Amino acid sequence: MNNLDDDLLKRKTIIDDALDEYVPVVFPEELYRAARHLFNAGGKRLRPVVLLLGAEAVQPKIAVETILPAAVSVELIHNFTLIHDDIMDEDATRRSIETVHTKWGMSEAILAGDALYAKAFEVLSYTKTEPENATKCLRLLSKACLHICEGQWLDIKFENNKNISEADYLEMVQKKTAVLYAAGLAMGGILGGGTDSEVSALWEFGIAMGICFQIRDDVLDLITAREVLGKDRASDLMEGKMTLVMIHGLKHGIRLDPSQLTSEKAIDVAIKDLQDAGSIDYAMEKATEILGAGKSRLAKLADSEAKRKLLKLADYMISRAY
């Protein structure tokens, strides 16, 4: 295990302990068991980790415990989106377990997600910082939630729409996925006392990191076995999702009908067609290009161990195997 892995595991443990503290199972117990279901099943805690690193990148000696509630709030928002996303996509499994709506029911899952959403802002209020910084973080996280809804709306409307452009896709994933990384990094910068220029650089870096995370996620959906992925392989293809891979494939004559992808053999053929068209390689090349531009934004920050970890984490985003 390399140094980055060690550091991520250490920070994940800190965040997991904080999740137990801030989201205990209380009455009605089943509501909170449902709310905790996905983060109890695992997860890398990347979004709260980048908030901590963002703060340390502008103030290396910051006391982590003072900003830990803000990091937890970002993770709670992430899990709220997962619960609702699974409902909308009608997914039965995530992280190799039943999704919340599959285990508890649709109405119960909606309430569990809503509870996490409300809890996130309660926990954020416990962050020890100046009132002005607290307001800035509240505004950032609120706007990120709104953008996530906008992105999810676009994602739904883009399904099976063959006229979606690469620019449309990038706008959608920026809103749906990237803004929570960007908000976490910018919140960390604010809580660390960073300048407006430093906070802006962290935001822009987070947008690039989040877009690349989503592109890699789209690719992994095609090339990774169900046992490793924790959910059905090629679910995006079967749902008619317009990913960067699919958009490139359409431009190069690949026509896939989701209703025909009813067997592993049909899925394998569809994925091979996309590989032969260079669509998967193109998506990864685009991710590398976007990430390079995003990493350059951190030039506005002084060199530090936290900054170096952020750059390594960015590289991990497009090389991860699951």
Domains in the chain: ranges and CATH: 3-317 (1.10.600.10)
DSSP string spanning 158-203? HTT-TT--HHHHHHHHIIIIIHHHHHHHHHHHHHTT--HHHHHHHH
Please give the pLDDT value at position 205.
Answer: 98
Q: Is 307 exposed, middle or buried (0-12, 13-18, 19+ CB in 10 A)?
A: buried
* Cα gap 322→319, rounded to integer Å: 9
Q: Which residues of the chain are modeled with pLDDT < 50?
A: 1
pLDDT in tens, 149-159: 999 999 999 99
pLDDT at 233: 83
Give the pLDDT of residue 1.
Answer: 42
pLDDT tens column, 7-27: 999 999 999 999 999 999 999
